[in-house]
Each structure stands twice: as C-alpha cells, then as structure tokens.
Amino acid sequence: MRDVAVIGAGMTKFGKFLDRSLKDLTREAVQEALDSAGTEKAKLQVAVVGNATAGLITGQEMIRGQVVLRDIGIGGLPVINTENACASSSTAFHLAWMYVASGMYDVALAVGMEKLYHEDKRRSFQAIGAAVDVEWVEQMAAAAKAAREAQGDGERQPTFEEGAGEKRSMFMDFYAAFARQHMQRYGTTKEQFGRVAVKNHYHGSLNPHAQYREVYTLEDILNSPVVAEPLTRLMCSPIGDGAAAAVLVPADQARQYSSKPVFVRASVLVSGADRAPDEPGTTERAVGQAYDMAGLGPEDLNVIELHDASAPAELVIYEELGLCPPGEGGKLIDSGFTKLGGPLPVNTSGGLISKGHPIGATGVAQIYEIYKQLRGEAGDRQVEGARVGLTENGGGMVKGDAAALSVHIFSL
Amino acid sequence: MRDVAVIGAGMTKFGKFLDRSLKDLTREAVQEALDSAGTEKAKLQVAVVGNATAGLITGQEMIRGQVVLRDIGIGGLPVINTENACASSSTAFHLAWMYVASGMYDVALAVGMEKLYHEDKRRSFQAIGAAVDVEWVEQMAAAAKAAREAQGDGERQPTFEEGAGEKRSMFMDFYAAFARQHMQRYGTTKEQFGRVAVKNHYHGSLNPHAQYREVYTLEDILNSPVVAEPLTRLMCSPIGDGAAAAVLVPADQARQYSSKPVFVRASVLVSGADRAPDEPGTTERAVGQAYDMAGLGPEDLNVIELHDASAPAELVIYEELGLCPPGEGGKLIDSGFTKLGGPLPVNTSGGLISKGHPIGATGVAQIYEIYKQLRGEAGDRQVEGARVGLTENGGGMVKGDAAALSVHIFSL
C-alpha cells in the first residue's frame, strides 16, 4: 500500500445554523479544503461522505453525499455514503485514505457534515439515540423500570425514562455512569473533570471555528446545571451544525500540490467486541494498532484531538492512549500536561465540549485541527514545533462498547 | 492492487417477513456465505454493510452493521456502514473488494440487508422516497402542480401528488416517464416491456429464493393493474425484505478455501454528472470502465443480473451494456436472446421484478446469483457452461441521473 498525505482541509464554524442547509455548510468546507490543497473540484476522483443523522433530521437518506456534492458541482466520481455515529467522518477519512493507499485513485475527498439542530430539540436528542441498538435500549429501559419498581425506587441516578433521549442525549447518562465508576475505582474527583472543561473551553476561546468561545473558571463549570451527576452542562458537548473536509493524495505526489503536506502515518478503525475483563478495550485496541502502524508511541506525540463528548471521557482516553497509567487521568489534567503551553496539548481546538460536536462532522474536524497545527497555521492556539499529531474518534455503542473507534496519526 | 476472489455467498429468500428482524435475516445470509466459503466468523477481518432504509423503517441509524453483526457474534473488526439507495450493497461489496485488493485485509465480508415492509405500507414508499434529493422533490411537486393548474389539467400522466410516495414508490413515475420516452423515440411497445416481465417471472419461478414464483402470460402482465402508464403492477419490482452476504479473499489465497472461487474482474462505482446530451450516461460510463478494467466486452458475457426495478429499465440497460444498438432493446427481448436457453440469459434469478427488491440487499443478491451460476450451482435456472457474469446495480436519483451506479464483472 502507498503512503498517503493530506494536502488540504477546511471546515465551517460549528454552531446553531437553522437557516443553513447541509449543501451550504458543505460547500464552504469543501471549497476551503480545495483552496488549501491548491486543486479544484474537477480533479477529485472519489468522495467519501460521513453523516449521522440527516435521515432522521431532514428525511434525506441513502444518497446524502450525492445530493450535496452535485449541488456543489461535484459529480461523476464514486461517492460513498458512510455512517458510524460520532465516528462517521473519521470513517469517511479512513476510506478516502484507503482509496489512495490502495493505488486505485490519486485524489480523494473526505467530508463530514451534520445538521443536528432541529426546531424541535427533542428530535435532535432522539436522532442521537439511533447511535445505539434501538431494540436493546427499549429492553434496557423496560428492565430498569421493573427493577426500580421492585426496589421501591431508593437512591438512584437519572435513567433513560427521565429525560435521556428527550431532554438530553442518552449518551450523557452512559458517560455519567462511567464517570462515577472512575471516581469510585480511582478516587477521581468532579473537580478533575471540571478542569478538563476549563481547559477545553479556554482552548475553544482561541479558535474562531468554535461554537462556544467563553472562558470559564472551575467554579463556573461546577456550578453550571447538572445534566446527570457528576456531569454539568459545561462538561458536555453541545448539539451543533457544521461541516469539514480534507483532500488526500499519494505521499509521493503531495509536493506537487503543497509545500507542507501532512502525512498519514496510521489509519485504524475497529468496532467493539465481546472480551474478557482483562483484555484491552476498544480504544486501547485501536490505539495499539495505530502506534504499530505508525511505528510511533505516545512519547512521540506533540498534539492530540480526542473524543471529549463529555469531560470524563477525556481523562479516560488519556489512560487508553498511554499518556499516563490507568486511573491517573485525573492527576494528568491537574498537572497541566495537556493544556496549551504544556508538554502535550490535547484538544487545542476546544474539543467537542467547546468547539462543538455536529456528530458526523467531528472526525474530519479533528483532522482539520491537526492539519493546521502541523502546518503551523493554528493561530493563537498554535503548539510550537508540533510535528506529530493524533486523532481519536469514537462512535455509537453496542453492548456497552464503542460501536466504532478510529485512530489516526499524522506527521510532517 | 491484488486480484480478488469471492469464496462464499449466501442469501435469504426475499419476501414479506414482518416477524423477522434484520438481525435474523442477516444471520442466515452470513452463515450461508461463511459455510459456502469454508471459513468462520472469527476469520473475518473487515465487514462492510449496505442498508438503505432502516433509519426510516426501524429508527436504527448510524451503526446498523455493528448492531446486527455483534448480535451474530461478529465484533472487533472494522465495520463500515454504507448507503447508496438501491446500490447500497454493491457499494458495500465494492468497498470489501477494495479492502482486499489494497492488501490491507485478507478476509472481507460484504452484507446487504433490508426490511422494507412496514405495517403501514406508506412508510415503505416514503422511505424509498429518500433516495432522491428530498428538497428537489418538494420543489418539483410544487412546480408540477402550478403547471397543471395553469394548463387546466388536460391530458396527463400520474404525477407526484397522486400516489407517488404514498400509494407507490415515486420511482415508478420516473420509470414510466422514461418508458414513454423510449416508446416515442424508438417505437418500443408496451408488449415488449411486458415480455421482459414474462421472462423474469418465468426465471423467478425456477428460483427458490424468489419472492414471487408465478409464471405469467403476456396477457396476464398487460392486464395487471396499471401503476403508471405504461407500467403495470407485474412489470414493477415489489416491496421486500431480505439479506445477502459474500466473503472475499485475495485471488492467490482463494484455493486454500474453495475449489471453485469466483474471481472479481472489475469493480466500478460512479455517480451521476452534469453532461452534454451526446456524452455517455451514468450507466454507459460505469460499464465502459468495467469492460476496460476486466479486459472484456459484452461478447464475453454468459450471464447478467441487472437492475430491472421496472421492465422498461431492463431494455434500456441492454442498450447501455452494449448488448444491442441504442433503441433496439425491444427487438432483443423479442428475439429471446436474454431468456434462459438463449445466448445470454439476463436476470436468471427472476431479477428485481420477480426475485424481489429489498433495496439494500439487492446488490449482493445479484452477486450471489452470478456466484451460483459460475459455480454451476443454480439448479433449474443454470446457464450451461457460464464462465463470465456481470452485475449492474443502480441507486437513487439526483438531477435526473442515477445517484450511484455500480458494475461488477466476475469470471471463473
């Protein structure tokens, strides 16, 4: 297989854009990617488009990519429409990478696009709820209800029937349960989760594409409304709209287009699996494969974008990436290691919490940030001398495991 | 890139299975494919899953493949969820082919699965309606209504507001308009369309997997209820449920598994494009690329499965495949050339009209038929001595062009 380079990337600002269509958002991201690549629409040979919820939000299923790309003036080429929940567009990028790595095509476009806002916000949360096994959720909700009734209610945490999928994404309940487990097992504190949010909101304040650009104190974070204990609103990624795009070519052709290509060192996608308790989880498995593929380890990384759909997730992913031993994610955030100016800044874009999380757009938007960082184009949030970056993007849930987990490693 | 072989294929019967889940249907197809391949779940290294309407029919979006495959006991491996309307699973097959051809993985699973029946049949037709640009359809319906009102109604054909997307798939209106154009331009007759249906229903009567197994006379076909002039019900593919699967490995490893592998000679996917009237259409473009890739032409083919979503489509595709000159599809069906026993049997499975058309399952089911034919396992519908077969699978529509069009060529 051939080595592959990213020669262009673009993205819209993330936010609430009820008056902008997927076509409109995607046009902007694709045009920026093409401009950055110094190439044009007619040169594209294949396009892979990631989207998660258009079917449920706009009614557009099946040929989402073609509908949008023909409108932009891109046609004829193979168009792959792919879904993998929050990892939809890292999956799209992975396929675009493979089209080029295989030798089949020389210029590939990867797109992530999402309109998650709906006039009726319950529709947005319901749509996110399709990222799990919908049959299983129905069964679990029924079982939880029966158990509560049998136990006379008792002390309890918010459950599916009380807002999940209606007033908030049901994923926040998963994350909250996960966070409580980490606190109990390792002594991690709510303040430590809060510090992740402080950091990412600070980073987002430096990013013109971020949905939220406010700086918050730890008190602000902890005192914001509780979503599901211990998560507060400012620790959670918001609903959002946006698009991102990247252009990929063979590494040995990259300098024909760009004086500063960004090389793909690893592209890994895995799914959850049944496993013994001592076997590595989904993220560790993907990360291990990616380090092997790149011939690099955590000590080589200069900048990371990871899937902080909620603040506790970031701490756990530190551990899964091997940035610290298991259980010590809390200490790592306390140390300032992952803040801009620290040894290994994480989520310099603001992450999902602050930059926003239009779910199908997130994967390529993470790659956009690494592309900008490695090229030295990240402005106020630039990591000086960044040469190697990693993205980690998880999507959906089946049987308690991530349904899809992708890791990419890039270098100059 | 490496040559690739199909070493196993499986499919369910197509039909109305309100009591069977996607998990249940897919389990059956995958198990047959693995058994046919002489391999097992644990050996699979990547899975690509095509589905078109689960999001709208069952509410399951984003991670449809993982939900189904984990239930079957397949996990850990990369799972790609892909959509391309009626070409969803030929797209899945194309990606599985590329994973193997690229050298990345050695054992790939391609799955097509669909439950299109819904207790409320309007939901089925509405779901199919998501295979076009939904914004464009709204605009077109409004324009058609305004035009009719301005013209005082006059002589007219059924239009979008009168049943399309409610009482029938709106695609039948497209096909009807297309058929009338062919009649006007080339003198093609309704009887010739009828003969396609007679042939395919006869073929389907010989196929245990077919949804409909009745033999019909030309009079039966012409006298069945009108869907949209000139299409009668027996000329149209039905709503259906079903699943199909195939296992792919590198050609040079194929004989480790199978004494009779079927080799992939071409795998092509294209999308519609703006073009001048004299430039080749979407199908011709894909077919031309496939013949080039395979180093074969229409004269080399022994058996074909093509996308007869309605009978007129089959005649037009004869011309696009180069089986006859433009406009002579009608003469070709009259001659018996494409009937079992003729020189080049087409849609020996019964095609979409008789075998059925659970849209996301159709692409891999076409490949299943060619796999069985080339291996000499097609029973009563066997094409003697078949060594080279082609599948053509179209999906969706944007600006009057097929949104996705895939062509595969296989040989012993």
pLDDT at B143: 79
pLDDT of A179-230, one tens digit each? Answer: 999 999 999 999 999 999 999 999 999 999 999 999 999 999 999 999 999 9
B4 in helix, strand or coil? Answer: strand
Q: DSSP assignment, residue B168?
A: B
Region A67-85 average pLDDT: 97
Does B86 participate in catalysis according to the annotation? Answer: yes
SS3 call for A243 = strand
Rounded to an integer, the average pLDDT of B100-109 is 98
Per-residue pLDDT tens digits for B178-237: 999 999 999 999 999 999 999 999 999 999 999 999 999 999 999 999 999 999 999 999
Helix (H) or strand (E) holding A205: helix A190-205
- Residues B124-138 have a mean pLDDT of 86
Q: Who contacts B361 (Cβ-Cβ below 8 Å, separation ≥6)?
A: B11, B14, B50, B89, B112, B113, B114, B242, B243, B244
CA separation (Å) from B301 to B207, B246, B287, B326, B348? 21, 21, 13, 19, 14
pLDDT category of residue A406 using cuts at 50, 70 and 90: very high
Q: Which domains does chain A show, CATH number per domain?
A: 4-119+238-411 (3.40.47.10)
Alpha-carbon radius of gyration of chain A: 20
Residue type, A410: F
Closest listed residue to residue B365, CA positions, set B121, B56, B67, B114: B114
B56 in A contact zone (CB under 8 Å): yes
Place of tokens 């019967």: B13
Model confidence over A312-360: pLDDT tens digits?
999 999 999 999 999 999 999 999 999 999 999 999 999 999 999 999 9
Cα B275 to Cα B178, B280, B283, B400, distances in angstroms: 18, 8, 13, 11
**A252-306 confidence digits (pLDDT tens):** 999 999 999 999 999 999 999 999 988 999 999 999 999 999 999 999 999 999 9
* Contact residues, A window 239-278, toward B, CB-based 8 Å cutoff: 269-274
Mean pLDDT value across chain B: 94
- Span B283-290, average pLDDT: 98
> Is there a contact between B75 and A273 if contact means CB atoms under 8 Å apart?
yes
Q: What is the ipTM of this complex?
A: 0.95
* Catalytic residue list contains B118: no
From B118, B209, B307, B357, the catalytic residue: B357
What's the pLDDT at A158? 40
Closest to A27 in 3D by CA, of A111, A134, A120: A111
Residue A103 distance to chain B (closest CA, Å): 7
Establish if B62 touches chain A: CB-CB under 8 angstroms: yes
The Cβ of residue B276 has, within 10 Å, a number of other Cβ atoms equal to: 5
State how far Cα A345 lies from the chain centre: 16
Do the beta carbons of residue B370 and residue B303 sit within 8 Å? yes
- The per-residue pLDDT for B213 is 97
Of A350, A80, A371, A354, nearest in space to A244 by CA: A371
* Average pLDDT estimate for B73-88: 97
The Cα–Cα gap between B351 and A161 comes to 46
Instruction: Establish whether the linkage from the previous residue to A230 is cis, with ω within 30° of 0.
Output: yes
Q: What is d(CA A121, CA B260) in angstroms, rounded to the nearest whole number?
A: 55
- According to the model, what pLDDT value does residue A362 have? 98
| Sequential DSSP letters for B68-131 | HHHHHT--SS-EEEEE-GGGHHHHHHHHHHHHHHTTS-S-EEEEEEEE---SSHHHHHHHHGGG
Q: What is the 3-state secondary structure (H, E, C) of A145-174?
A: HHHHHHCCCCCCCCCCCCCECCCECCHHHH
Q: What is the C-alpha separation between A288 and A293, in angstroms, rounded?
A: 9
**pLDDT band (50, 70, 90) for residue A147:** confident
Measured distance CA(A288)–CA(A284) in Å, rounded: 6
Q: At B194, which helix (H) or strand (E)? A: helix B190-205
pLDDT value of position A121: 86
Contacts of B76 in chain A (CB under 8 A): 270-273, 285
> pLDDT confidence of A159, banded at 50, 70, 90?
very low
Nearest to A145 by CA among A159, A135, A133, A134: A159
Instruction: For A83, name the nearest residue in chain B, comparing CA atoms only.
Output: B62
Average pLDDT across chain A, whole number: 94
Phi then psi for residue A404, to 5 deg, are: -140, 140
Reduced to 3 states, what is the DSSP secondary structure of residue B408? Answer: strand
Whether pLDDT at B155 is above 60: no
Residues A91-123 have pLDDT tens digits of 999 999 999 999 999 999 999 999 999 988 888
Nearest to B401 by CA among B192, B54, B136, B186: B136
Q: Comparing A279-288, A291-300, B19-28, B272-281, which segment has the lowest mean pLDDT?
A: B272-281
SS3 B321: coil
Q: How far is CA A161 from the centre of its chain?
A: 27
Interface of B with A in 124-163 (CB under 8 A): 127, 130-136
8 A C-beta contact, residue A98 and residue A50 = no
A85 chain-B contacts, CB cut-off 8 A:
62-63
Note the pLDDT of residue B160. Answer: 43
The alpha carbons of chain B give a radius of gyration, in whole angstroms, of: 20
| A203, A209, A307, A357: the active-site residue | A357
Q: Would an 8 Å CB–CB cutoff place A80 in contact with chain B? A: yes
The CA distance from A307 to A83, in Å, is 17
For B351-410, write each residue's pLDDT tens digit. Answer: 999 999 999 999 999 999 999 999 999 999 999 999 999 999 999 999 889 999 999 999
A71 CA to chain B: closest CA distance, Å? 9
pLDDT at residue A165, rounded to an integer: 58
Contacts of B48 (CB under 8 A, 6+ apart): B65, B79, B80, B82, B92, B93, B95, B96, B99, B108, B109, B110, B111
One-letter amino acid for residue A219 of the chain = E
Per the CB < 8 A criterion, the answer to whether A245 and A110 are in contact is: yes
Instruction: In whole angstroms, give the CA distance from residue A283 to residue A299.
Output: 18
Cβ of B398 within 8 Å of Cβ of A133? The answer is no
